[in-house]
Each structure stands twice: as C-alpha cells, then as structure tokens.
Chain A
Amino acid sequence: MGFDLETAIPSENLRRVVIEPLSRVEGHGKVTILLDADDKVHQVRLHIVEFRGFERFIQGRPYWEVPVMVQRLCGICPVSHHLAASKALDLVVGATQLTPTAEKVRRLMHYGQILQSHALHFFHLSSPDLLFGFESEVGKRNIVGVAAAYPDIVKKGVLLRKFGQEIIRITAGKRVHGTGSIPGGVNKSLTREDRDFLLKDAYQMVSWSREAVHIIKQMHQQNPALYDVFGSFRSNMMSMVGTDGELDFYHGALRARDANGKIIFDKADYQSYSQLLSEGVKPWSYMKFPFITALGEENGWYKVGPLARVQNCDHIPTPLADAERNELVAYGKGSQLHATLAYHWARMVEMLFAAETIKDLLHDDDLMGDDLVVAGKHQREGVGVIEAPRGTLIHHYRVGDDDLVTMANLIVSTTHNNQAMNTAVREVAMRYLDGRKLTEGLLNHIEVAIRAFDPCLSCATHALGKMPLEVTLQDADGSVLDHLAIASCDASECPDPP
C-alpha cells in the first residue's frame, strides 16, 4: 500500500488528468492521474514543481543573516524557520542555555505562530470543504462563500489569526518576516503595554479555540462514514516530544511510533537526526522522500504534524487541550487514529493548546526582562529542530572560522509528509474516482486529502536548479525507442510552456 499507484505499467493507452494549481494550499504543486479507457486509475502522483536552491546560495553568507533569510522560504510559517535556524546557530555561537527572557519571548513568538497558522488553515483554507461539502459549488467553495453563509465562524477565524499575528509583530518586529530572534537570544522583549494589550484578548482566544475543536469533533462524530475512511492509510508517525513526554512545539527530543503505536525510537537527540533519517529522491518531484533509515525506504516513511504529535506525546500540559486530546485518543478505541481528516481535529486541539500556553506565558514577567542575548565559545556546527505547524522542521548548518556558512541542510515539515500525501491521494483516487466520470467536485476530493496535511509547499521547495532535459521513450519492456537531450534550457529556447 502506498506505492501501488506510483508508476503505471506502460502497457495500454492511458489518459492524463491534471489538477493544477492545487488551490487553498500554500505553495505550488500539481497532481497527475493516469486513467485507462474504462476510467480505471493506474497512477496518481503529487508533484512538487518548484525548487529554490536555498541550501546552496546560503553558503558564503554570514551566519547571522540566516534566520532572517531562511524564513523567506515561507510566508505562512516564517517564524518556524526563523526559530529553527536560531536554535541551530545558538550552538554555533556557544549559547547552550538562553536567558529566561529570550527563551520565553521565542516561545511566545512560536506559539503565536502555531495559533495563527492553524487558524488560517482551518478557517480560511479548509472550512469551505468541511462546511459545504467536497463537491459543493466551486464558485462558493472559498472563504468568501463561508463568510456569507457563516459570518460568525469566519469572524472568529479572522480574529484568532489576527491575535497570533499580533503576537508575532510584537515579538519579531513585523507580522511576516521579522527579525526578533537572533543567534544566542532575541533582540527585544515585551513592554508592559505590549503584554497588557495581548493579555486582554487571550482568554477569548482560548474560548474560541475550544469552540473550533468542538466544531470539527462534531463533524467527525456525525459523519464517521466519511471522516473515518477518507484518504486513510496506516503509517509510522514521528514528532518531537518534551522531556516528560508532553507535547511541546519549541523543544524536545525525537520520538517515532509505528502504525500500532509501538515505539520505534524515543528520546533521540535531534543533533543526530542524520543517523536516524534518510531522504530518497524520485525523478518526478523536486521534493524528497524522507524515511527512517533503519526501516528502509519502503517501510520507513512516516507522518508528521498535528495527527502525529497529538498521538505521539503522552499528554498535553494544558488542561482544556489535554481533555480534548483524551477524547481524540479515545475515538481511536485503542488504536492509533490514521484517518487523514483527523488531522483537522488534531490541529484544532493543538490550536487550543497554543492559546492556553499563550495565556499562561503572558502572565510571566520574564517576558519583559532586559537580559536578551548570551554567547560562549563558538562551534562550527549546529542542528536546530522545532515543531512547525506542519510538522518536525530540521535545520542543520556548518559555519567556518570566518563566520560564513559552509553547509546547510534542511528537512522541512511538509517534506516528511511527501509519501504520506501521495498515499492519501492514491487512496482517495481508488475509493472515489476509480471507474467514474471525473467531475471538478470529484477532483476536489484529491485536493481535500492534500489540504488535510496543511502542506507548505514553498518550504518544501527550498532548493532550485536547472538541469539538462532528457526525455526517453520506452516501450513496455523498457527498450529505448527514442531519446532527446537538450543540453541547457532557457526561456528563449523553451517550447510553449506546459
């Protein structure tokens, strides 16, 4: 399962259907489906079509530029990259322990980001499918349509997102692409006015987050025929977990469980991530395919993100979210919940956890402290890992004695979910599209599966390059019938773009 529909055996004529662009997701991707004359599905692939080159062009830049530059891989979750890079470079500058103020300001920034990103994903991007139905009228299936039908829900979504963005503005300096976190600490803390300004809405945000959990939980409970099976498949799960097994987005150690919930590895120091994880490459996508090295490429792939995190951890350290977590876990009736749509439920539980954590943090006067940065003996290397809204985010840098970056390696949250998303869309294709005349609404089912993972495809495309193009035409035995090679491609040479 999972690899069955990856490559069609090229025996008969297959018709190609493409979903492009993927809408209501961040970034650029497309899904191609190959069908035969009876509309039977033979191949489904999620292609990530863009490539940036960040890991290469960051080399030769001074290390203190990295947190500010790398966050520009993504406009929804820049804070994740900003902080993961900062954590990696903390080690490079010898800051083994941040000041209390610096750590708490960073935590506030990060939890604010989780709140706004999860709110955006649920209310602005996913709610049209969940509230109107996957095949509903395409002109209305967007936030504008939801605002017309359910204005109260959209208003809360907008204000939840606004609250998270205001936290980021205050801690990072700007709502999108700030500079607040620097190697060794932060460059500002909160004023009393800032703190009071945020605190006055914090309780409301907890209450609205809880409402959001109830909305999605109810959808699950009322429509198990859809929610339990849609795009579902069993897999391993990986996430970072806090020292006492609690859910923690900012710091922890790596834990992976298999599809039955049995531990694969636990309390793994993420500095050694490269010993645990490998990345495969397939020719039809720029995004790589990570897997747990010890289990191999076929069995070692895994899910990350809310559904993995909420189940991987032992408990959530805030009361309302923990109670909701218990209900989610109980819904699985003793088994791991693998339903793709359960991501939405888990995501809202996390949003509640973020809201409660923010409310608690805002009572801590350390946020207003003056001691912002520490430094020690410089090292040449550091790994920073954080739980971004979409999953485990890994940044790894090497820095020379001249302070310039010599190596960068990023494994981005959505990348971990590459195989999982491909498997989900294949499952949906078989269950809903196979043998049927394809409509726009049916094709939207494919996108709904992808959206559940809240992919950040810009993050995933962090490298870009240009390659000589080779096209090979093969018959069913693999013998080469024709071969075309173009040594270099330029826009002026390019035939009419696809």
Chain B
Amino acid sequence: MSAADNSRSTSFQIDGAEIGFVEGQSILQAALSAGKYIPHLCYHPEFKPNGSCKLCTVKINGRPAAACTVQAEAGLSVESETSEIKDKRRTLLQMLLVEGNHFCPSCEKSGNCMLQALAYDLGVMSSHFPQIFPIRLVDASHPDILLDFNRCILCEICVRASAEADHKNVFALSGRGITKHLIVNSESGRLADTDFSATDKAAQVCPVGVILPKRRGFAVPIGSRRFDLKPISEQIEKGDHSSGLAFGEGSH
C-alpha cells in the first residue's frame, strides 16, 4: 500500500509545516514518512506501537500525547521542537541513562545505538540524576546471541518482534515499577533453552546493546558506525511508515 496509491487530500501541521498523511497513520508515522523527524525509541515501523518510551511526546492542539499512539487527523496543530518539549525529552533520556548500566565506552553498540544517538542529538551533557548502578545480568547461554540486560530500556520491540513476526514469544516484561525487567520465556530463564535463533526478527531489532550477535563486537571501526556519519535526526529508519498497521489492520 504505497503512498502514491492514496489521495493525500488532507494534512496537518507540525511546527508550522504542512504534513500530508494516509488514513490510518499515526502522527509519528505521517511525520517520518514526510521526512520530519520526531524522536522515538519504542516505535518500530513493522510492529504495533507501544507508547511507552514517551520520547515522541508532542503537543497536539495544546495537549501532550505520544505521537505514535494518536491517529493523524486533518487540521491538527502539533508542536514538537519547542524548548519545553526538548527539555522533557532530555530528562526522559537522563532517567533512562541512570536507570540501567549504560557504559558507552566499552559497549559494542556504541555508534549504532539509538539511545546514545538521541542523547547526542538532544545535547544531553550531564547525568543530572544519581546513578542507580542496578545489578543486572548477562545471558551468554545461546551459542550465537548475547543478552546484556544492563542496557535494556524496556522498549519491548523484541517482545513484539518475537510475537508478531517470529511467532515464538521468546521475550516478555515482568515485574512492576522500578523492578520491571525483560525476561526470557523458558523455565530456566535462559535463552539457550528457547527456540530462539540468530535469524529471528527479534534478534535484529534491539535499538540498544541488549540483543547482540556474538563475536562481532568492534568489527566496525570508529568513524564508520551508523551515527558517526550523521545524527539520528537525519536518518529516519527504513521501513514502511505508511502502513496502517498501528490501528489493528492486521499484522500481515
């Protein structure tokens, strides 16, 4: 279902610019399709939206909402790049960064990490909050894939991918509040005891450094990594942002 097949007779405004949309798209999807970047972490073009990270918060006709969960409608007035919203996005990122153990200096995802790239783009210069230094585990049981839970931001892209694309339900979130964490769906809790495979969709989609193919760390030199070349706001990820997947039109 390409954009050209549908008439774009309606549009709405983001930061004063006219954005056309296809019926069924969310505000975020319409913006990304039009090349207008709105920060996001838990959105993935192929899966149902989560609305959990809140990075895509925008003001719609004066009221804040997650752009990935609100349907685009003609005539809406949306604000995204205000200093108030950017401040709040920075605070969200700072909270994420102190909640886990995000040690960028020796993390192999550095330079390809969406959390890091967003923090650079928004100019996060300090921790602000006290570091929590939680005790998190590493699961290296699987022969091909490493799980480092220190870096999990609870975006649930892997949960959705494993369920909607792989039909395996390998991952889930468990616990409440600050104890909420990613778990593996096996009796032992280990990845090796599931039917997870390196070719699964869920193995490709982690935006940070949790789900990692083994023995490939640091093969890409500094300077050639994805976000070395351009900031994340200039690299809208590939994928069909035009699909109406968001609103229950069927997953395939």
- Indicate yes or no for A touching B, C-beta below 8 A: yes
Task: Give the number of residues in A that approach B within 8 Å (Cβ atoms).
Answer: 25
CA distance A404 to B219 in the complex (A): 18
Interface contact tally, CB-CB below 8 A: 58
Instruction: Report A-chain residues with C-beta under 8 Å of the C-beta of B107.
Output: 65
Cβ proximity bits B195-226 to A, threshold 8 Å, 1 near / 0 not:
00000000000000000001111111111100
CA distance A174 to B222 in the complex (A): 7
Instruction: Report B-chain residues with C-beta under 8 Å of the C-beta of A402.
Output: 140-141
Q: Tell me the A136-178 residues at the B interface (CB within 8 Å).
A: 172-174, 177-178
A69 and B214 contact, Cβ closer than 8 Å, known pairs A187-B220, A403-B146, A404-B138: no
CA distance A3 to B224 in the complex (A): 54
Task: Tell me the dominant secondary structure on chain A's binding face.
Answer: loop
Instruction: Report A-chain residues with C-beta under 8 Å of the C-beta of B106.
Output: 61, 65, 68-69, 72
Task: Give the number of residues in B that approach A within 8 Å (Cβ atoms).
Answer: 19
Q: Are A179 and B140 in contact (CB under 8 A)?
A: no
Q: Name A187's contact: one of B140, B141, B146, B219 (CB within 8 Å).
A: B219
Cβ proximity bits A46-80 to B, threshold 8 Å, 1 near / 0 not:
00000000000000111011011100100000000
- CB of A455 closer than 8 Å to a CB of B: no
CA distance A117 to B132 in the complex (A): 37
Instruction: Report A-chain residues with C-beta under 8 Å of the C-beta of B224.
Output: 188
Q: Are A64 and B218 in contact (CB under 8 A)?
A: yes
Q: Are A173 and B217 in contact (CB under 8 A)?
A: no
- CB of A305 closer than 8 Å to a CB of B: no
Q: Name A178's contact: one of B138, B141, B222 (CB within 8 Å).
A: B222
- CB of A240 closer than 8 Å to a CB of B: no
CA distance A402 to B143 in the complex (A): 7
Q: Tell me the B110-169 residues at the A interface (CB within 8 Å).
A: 138, 140-141, 146
CA distance A61 to B146 in the complex (A): 10
CA distance A373 to B218 in the complex (A): 12
Instruction: Report B-chain residues with C-beta under 8 Å of the C-beta of A60.
Output: 138
Q: Using A61-B138, A62-B146, A62-B217 as known contacts, list a sample of 19 further A-B pairs with CB atoms less than 8 Å apart, ordered by residue number in A.
A: A62-B140, A64-B217, A65-B106, A65-B108, A68-B108, A172-B222, A173-B223, A174-B222, A177-B105, A179-B221, A179-B222, A180-B221, A182-B217, A187-B219, A187-B220, A188-B224, A400-B140, A403-B140, A404-B140
25 A-B contacts, Cβ less than 8 Å apart?
A60-B138, A62-B138, A62-B214, A64-B108, A64-B218, A65-B106, A65-B108, A68-B105, A68-B108, A69-B105, A69-B106, A72-B106, A179-B218, A179-B221, A180-B221, A182-B218, A182-B219, A187-B220, A188-B221, A373-B219, A400-B140, A402-B140, A403-B140, A404-B138, A404-B140
Binding site for A on B (CB under 8 A): 105-108, 138, 140-141, 146, 214-224
